[in-house]
Structure 1
Amino acid sequence: MTKPAGARRHLPSSPFNVPAPAAPPIENYEVGDRVSHDQFGLGRVVGVEGDLAVLIDFSGRQGRILSPYSKLTKL
């Protein structure tokens, strides 16, 4: 019995059919988490909108950061 062409494993030395790298998991934030943003600096999570966005208080100025939170780091 043969395997379908899509189920073959990739040989590390082969330049063909290189598998796409897996996307990193999206970090989960909770109200009260301390965070750092590349542009806005330090802040605290004040609201979470499911997997869509988080509301963050940056020293009196609030911001809504959309998922996948690439510039946001949990402290």
Structure 2
Amino acid sequence: MIDVNIKIDCEKPELVAQAVEYDTRDGIVFNTEENKLSLSFTCENISTLKKVVYSTGNLIDVSMETIRRFK
């Protein structure tokens, strides 16, 4: 098992978390504090880790870009 904890600096982390949680895999815990979005999850293997990071990372990127555009 692989335990993963990621922290990302971003504007309005609550909005990013809401957008990403809507269409993401089960088992990912999102926390927001001090302009940081934290993700915690466990993967069974490297292949699963790559899939989760890639899909969730893309959603986070799109959400952050959307917030920047509509500032």
Q: Same fold (TM over 0.5)?
A: no
Q: Normalised by the shorter chain, which TM-score bucket?
A: under 0.3
Greater helix fraction, Structure 1 or Structure 2: 2
Greater strand fraction, Structure 1 or Structure 2: 1
* TM-score between both structures, scaled by the size of structure 1: 0.23
Specify which structure has the bigger relative contact order, considering alpha-carbon pairs within 8 angstroms and separated by 6 or more residues.
2
